[in-house]
Amino acid sequence: MAKQKIIELNGVYKEYDGTLAVENVNLYVRKGEFITFLGPSGCGKTTTLRMIAGFELPTAGQILLNGKDITHLPPHKRPVNTVFQRYALFPHLNVYENIAYGLKLKKLKVTYEDTLGNQIERIENYTKEEIDEKVKKALKMVDLEDFEKRSVTTLSGGQQQRIAIARAIVNEPEILLLDEPLGALDLKMRKDMQLELKEMHKKLGITFIYVTHDQEEALTMSDTVVVMKDGKIQQIGTPQDIYNEPINSFVADFIGESNIFSGTMVGEKKVRFINKVFDCVDDFEKNEKVDVVVRPEDVKIVKEEKGMVGGVISSCIFKGVHYQMTMMVGRSEVVIQSTKGYDVGEKVFIQIAPQDIHIMKKEFVSNVYDGYITKNNTVCFADGEFACDVTQLYEGSSLDEDGYLLLKSGEKIDLSGVDVKVEVGLKDIEIIDNDEDGNACGSIISIVYKGDHYQVIIRTDEDEEDFVCDTEYTWNEQDRVSVRIPKEKIRLTLKQEAKR
Amino acid sequence: MKGAKIIKKEPFITDNKGGGLLKFKRSQLCIPYGLFLSVFVIFPLLLIIYYAFTSKTGTFSLSNFTAFFTEPTNISTLIISIFVSFIVTVICLLISYPVAYILSRLKNSNLAFVLLLLFILPTWLNFVLRAMAMKELLSFIGIPLGSTASIIGLVYDFMPFMIMPLYSTLIKMDKSFEEAASDLGASKVKVFTSVTLPLSKPGIISGVTMVFLPVMSCYVITDTFSGSTGFSLIGKLIAKCFLGENGAPIQINEGAAISLIMLVIMVVTMLLTGGFKNSENARGTNL
């Protein structure tokens, strides 16, 4: 299975006007593999694909093709072809001319042997007959045999899609890049095309690099899935790995339905969440805060005596094959999928097998920032100024009337301009709807539901610092909000000694 | 209602379909334009047709046309007009295309806007004024009045009409076509010749019609620049007939006939270039 690496990205960065679209991407693709870049919009997956195609140059890093550096090679010199999101079929050419476009440009090295036995090399183009044959074969591959003379503007979306694929594969590229190629098709057509593409991949044996935001599509089609978020790779693995062993709560939340709870390790392979201790198979340090992920289909409704924890059904929706129910355990919600539906208000008991409890290190335990003390004895960090208790910096110190800090020893020091490390707990940040009222403002960039609360990330406008907060209230992505932190919840530590 | 407490707020939907004075059908909105059109376009057109097919005495005759086509100087003016229009159009296109292309590919859109404004700004001035200024400039550089000066003047005057449609076609063009071409192995030159150029055809056609036809009937500019040695265009011929310059008699019927011939030439050119087709036409462009 150790096939050779066809493409390799080493420490690739891409910056647009000061913001990083792609950050330190390292990955390789094996020859013949079907690899999918998966992530929400704006995660850098298309940018990464465009760098492989050559439409964008990385700001830093290296792209290797078969071990050779192609980072700065223009697109027309790369043995790579792309199927564009909106197909980009040339409207002034008909179907045949569209497909033949690449073939007509291709140069071949032909070796002749003359009557004296000398070998002569000549650079030639494909002959008309060769092009004809290849175009016909490609059209057959996509099941549009009699469409040669048709104008591309008269084709339906699905047909244009097929022509776009034919136009790319006819050149026999080493790698086929597909940028959300099924995005514009309806659901039924998508499902058919997914299977057809997978079939085509098998038949052609070329490497496919596929970009999508549809997790189901990624899981159905790929050999390997690369999950991306905010320009960074979160996890690379087989669809099974990604689904069963998500590396963090983002991946778990993005791939399929999942219950994400905040838990604490209470002993060897024992984790406590939803107020109950469960056996699990992952081992973490005792007392460590962890995220616990349980897939809804792994939560089994059982008889009372077998149940590990009980709760009340608060909603039940029929989804065709199964019912999706929400059960309240105390203040936590547990999503359950079961073939048998239960009534709202009914008391049920659940069981979760140890191997179905996935434990991952908590991404954010507290927010840490670099800040400095102002002359008013407040602290500036993350685009805002916050009131704080500076006396915590020196034990037993107090403030005098002029704002100087009096140490226990009686020494007087000026704190203004002193660099400090600022730490704020996730639960200590208050989100306020109005952008004026808080100390710093920004917009919400991510929301993950964690059983009984949401974990919201607020990014400030100027410095792009993130506030991660746990809140019970629902917010929407892109909401403009501001944050307030109670004075006593800001923990400060000195990074440098103050002037005495 | 100060001080009163609001009990309920709900959307208010009128069932009144907009009555009163402002009650009219949408089609009635075009009445003002219809009136304008009939008084200032259709009526004069009919008048021209009437004059063209009548003699001075008011009887039906084709003598105005036979007179035009039998007079060698008229024919040569017509040929020169077409030739000069062609030359001016080609020069405009050759200068404008690169300009429009570069402007449309500028990453800094503010810079592109300012540069475009510089090219378009002259059209906001009265063109007689511009022509006079250009004349002064040419004499300052040392280019004498005559055919060359006329062509320079015409190119200067009509260039913005070529740049605008080209620019708007190029800026609207989906970049993924060019990317697809280079992805399929086309070099930069090949991308331009096989994709960008054919796809900008609507802009070229629109630019050409906006330069070629008006140049033929333009006479103020050639008047200003031609001096004693330069050529005169068919527009000048028509003006002479109607205005009777230099003591020549006023010949309304002949003038009407020449106008009608011009009109036919224009319609034929439009048909040939597909200028009447609505699709992909980049005419509707302005700053």
CA-based torsion, A29, A201, A211, A448: positive or negative: negative
Residue A88, min C-alpha distance to chain B (Å) = 5
For residue B16, is pLDDT > 80?
A: no
Report d(CA B197, CA B204) in Å as an integer. 9
Report d(CA A21, CA A231) in Å as an integer. 5
Domains A1-79+173-244 and A366-494 share a fold: no
Nearest chain B residue to A50 by CA distance is: B179
Picking from A50-54, A107-111, A447-451, which range would have the lowest pLDDT averaged per residue?
A447-451
The segment with the largest mean pLDDT, out of B27-31, B93-97, B249-253, is B93-97
Residue A91, min C-alpha distance to chain B (Å) = 8
Which of A46, A47, A83, A84 would you mutate first to test chain B, the one with the most B CBs within 10 A?
Answer: A84
Report d(CA A401, CA A99) in Å as an integer. 81
The CATH number given to A249-361 is 2.40.50.140
**CB–CB contact A74 B182 (8 Å):** yes
Comparing CA positions, the residue from A260, A246, A337, A242 lying closest to residue A297 is A337
Four-point Cα dihedral A210, A215, A221, A222, nearest 10: 60
User: Which residues on B lie below 8 Å from A75 (Cβ)?
Assistant: 179, 182-183
Residue A1's pLDDT band (cuts 50, 70, 90): very low
- Confidence (pLDDT) at A459: 84
For residue A305, is pLDDT > 70?
A: yes
Report d(CA A350, CA B174) in Å as an integer. 55
Answer for the pair A328, A317: CB distance below 8 angstroms, yes or no: no
**CB–CB contact A84 B180 (8 Å):** yes
Mean pLDDT of A190-200: 90
Q: What are phi and psi of A94, to 5 degrees?
A: -85, 180
Which residues between 156 and 175 in chain B have a beta carbon less than 8 angstroms from any beta carbon of chain A?
174
Answer for the pair A166, A139: CB distance below 8 angstroms, yes or no: yes
- Confidence (pLDDT) at A73: 93
- Confidence (pLDDT) at A7: 94
For residue B285, is pLDDT > 60?
A: no
The segment with the largest mean pLDDT, out of B96-100, B124-128, B282-286, is B96-100
Residue B284's pLDDT band (cuts 50, 70, 90): very low
Answer for the pair A327, A311: CB distance below 8 angstroms, yes or no: yes
Write the pLDDT tens digit of every residue in A437-494. Answer: 788 888 888 888 877 888 888 888 777 778 888 888 888 888 888 888 888 888 888 8
Other residues' Cβ atoms within 10 Å of the Cβ of residue A44: 23
- Confidence (pLDDT) at A227: 95
One-letter identity of residue B186: A
Share of chain A above pLDDT 90, in %: 43
Write the pLDDT tens digit of every residue in B227-240. Answer: 777 788 888 888 88
SS3 category, B8: coil
Higher pLDDT, residue A315 or B283: A315
Comparing CA positions, the residue from A250, A235, A226, A261 lying closest to residue A359 is A261
For chain A, give every domain's residue range: 1-79+173-244, 93-161, 249-361, 366-494
Nearest chain A residue to B202 by CA distance is: A92
B128-to-B124, B134, B148, B207, B224 alpha-carbon distances in Å: 12, 10, 18, 22, 9
- Give A99's contacts (C-beta < 8 A, 6+ positions apart): A135, A138, A139, A163, A166, A167, A170
Mean pLDDT of B203-215: 90
Residue B227 gets the label, from left (phi > 0), alpha (psi -120 to 50) or beta, of: left
Picking from A345-354, A374-383, A407-416, A467-476, which range would have the lowest pLDDT averaged per residue?
A407-416
- Confidence (pLDDT) at A108: 85
CATH topology of domain A366-494: OB fold (Dihydrolipoamide Acetyltransferase, E2P) (2.40.50)
Residue A114 gets the label, from left (phi > 0), alpha (psi -120 to 50) or beta, of: beta
Q: How many residues appear in chain A? A: 500
Residue B126, min C-alpha distance to chain A (Å) = 40
For residue B48, is pLDDT > 70?
A: yes
Q: How many residues appear in chain B? A: 287
For residue B150, is pLDDT > 80?
A: yes
For residue B283, is pLDDT > 50?
A: no
Residue B276's pLDDT band (cuts 50, 70, 90): low
Mean pLDDT of A418-422: 84
Share of chain B above pLDDT 90, in %: 37
For residue B24, is pLDDT > 80?
A: no
Residue A102's pLDDT band (cuts 50, 70, 90): very high
DSSP bridge partners of A491: A423
Q: Indicate the pairing of strand A80-83 with strand A175-179.
A: parallel
**CA triple A338-A342-A346, angle to 5 deg:** 135
Report d(CA B98, CA A151) in Å as an integer. 30
Higher pLDDT, residue B7 or B280: B7
For residue B19, is pLDDT > 60?
A: no
Using DSSP, how many helices (H) and how many strands (E) does chain A show? 8, 35
**CB–CB contact A90 B195 (8 Å):** yes
For residue B1, is pLDDT > 70?
A: no
- Confidence (pLDDT) at A289: 80
**CB–CB contact A171 B186 (8 Å):** no
For residue A364, is pLDDT > 80?
A: no
Average pLDDT over chain B, rounded to whole? Answer: 85
**CB–CB contact A105 B185 (8 Å):** yes
**CB–CB contact B184 A88 (8 Å):** no
CATH homologous superfamily of domain A1-79+173-244? P-loop containing nucleotide triphosphate hydrolases (3.40.50.300)
Write the pLDDT tens digit of every residue in A225-284. Answer: 999 998 999 999 999 999 988 888 889 888 888 888 888 888 888 898 888 889 988 888
- Continuous segment of H or E residues that includes residue B101: helix B72-105
Picking from B31-35, B134-138, B206-210, B275-279, which range would have the lowest pLDDT averaged per residue?
B275-279
For residue A299, is pLDDT > 80?
A: yes
The segment with the largest mean pLDDT, out of A48-52, A425-429, A489-493, B13-17, is A48-52
- Confidence (pLDDT) at B287: 36
Alpha-helical regions (H) of A128-186? 128-141, 157-169
Other residues' Cβ atoms within 10 Å of the Cβ of residue B264: 10
- Confidence (pLDDT) at B35: 93
DSSP bridge partners of A358: A293
Share of chain A above pLDDT 70, in %: 98
Cα-trace Rg, chain A: 29
Query: What domains lie within chain B, and their CATH numbers?
Result: 77-233 (1.10.3720.10)
- Give B17's contacts (C-beta < 8 A, 6+ positions apart): none
Write the pLDDT tens digit of every residue in A13-38. Answer: 999 888 889 999 999 999 999 999 99
State the distance between the two ends of chain B, measured CA to CA, in whole angstroms: 48
- Continuous segment of H or E residues that includes residue B276: none
For residue B274, is pLDDT > 70?
A: no
Chain A contact present for B201, CB below 8 A: yes
What b/e sequence results for B219-256 when a residue is b if at least 16 CB atoms lie within 10 Å of its CB, and e otherwise? bebbbbbbeeebbbbbbbbbbbbeeeeeeeeebbbbbb
Cα B44 to chain centroid, rounded: 20
Average pLDDT over chain A, rounded to whole? Answer: 88
Which of B110, B184, B204 would you mutate first to test chain A, the one with the most A CBs within 10 A?
Answer: B184
**CB–CB contact B180 A91 (8 Å):** no
**CB–CB contact B187 A76 (8 Å):** yes
SS3 category, A494: strand
Write the pLDDT tens digit of every residue in B178-194. Answer: 999 999 999 999 999 99
Write the pLDDT tens digit of every residue in B153-178. Answer: 999 989 999 999 999 999 999 999 99
Which of A50, A57, A80, A90 would you mutate first to test chain B, the one with the most B CBs within 10 A?
Answer: A90
Cα A248 to chain centroid, rounded: 11
Residue with tokens 């050119």: B269
For helices A157-169 and A95-105, angle between their N-to-C axes, nearest 10 degrees: 20
